[in-house]
Amino acid sequence: MFRKGDIDGVIIREVKLFRDARGWLAEIFRADELPEGFSPLMSYVSMTIPGVARGPHEHSYQSDYFYFLSNFKLYLWDNRKSSTTYLNMLVMEETRGKTVIIPPGVVHAYKNDTTSDGLVLNFPDKLYAGWGKKEPVDEIRHEGDKESPFTLD
């Protein structure tokens, strides 16, 4: 059902490390390098243990801005019927040191295929559960759905 290929609106960027005698510094995002209209509203960090996946799920309104501090296998499916790349699938084997912006309607999952705990930062453009955590969560979950076309290897 899904074709392999790029997905419209997904932005993948290599993060440059600026090294000196003290260590390194990385600019994760800058307002002058973000897509027009995208403005992060919160941040969180997640740790995923080896062999575990998060997702697949999608958002109706939220865009995610992930920064992968560790290596994961990232799965993306364009589920937007109005998109020029509808029914495209993208699988990234190497995510460490990359940022990925995922627009609403793109189903996503990532799996820690390594033997170490993995870290991911996210800077979404919507607040989880809205202002004061008083709104429904913008998340359509596909995990556990035996009929789902969104499957991980």
Whether pTM exceeds 0.85: yes
- Judged by DSSP in three states, 60 sits in coil
Torsion of CA 102, 108, 46, 28, to 10 degrees: -20
Strand partners, 119: 47
Q: How distant is the alpha carbon of residue 96 from its chain centre?
A: 12
CB 15 within 8 A of CB 97: yes
CB 43 within 8 A of CB 122: yes
Residue 97: per-residue pLDDT: 97
Q: Which domains does the chain have, with CATH numbers?
A: 3-17+39-141 (2.60.120.10)
Strand partners, 100: 12, 66
Amino acid at 25: L
Per-residue pLDDT of the chain (153 residues; tens, 9 = 90+): 899 999 999 999 999 999 999 999 999 999 999 999 999 999 999 999 999 999 999 999 999 999 999 999 999 999 999 999 999 999 999 999 999 999 999 999 999 999 999 999 999 999 999 999 999 999 999 998 999 999 998
Residue 1: per-residue pLDDT: 87
**Which tokens is 117 given?**
């705990």
Residue 153: per-residue pLDDT: 81
| Paired sense of beta strands 88-92 and 3-4, if any | parallel
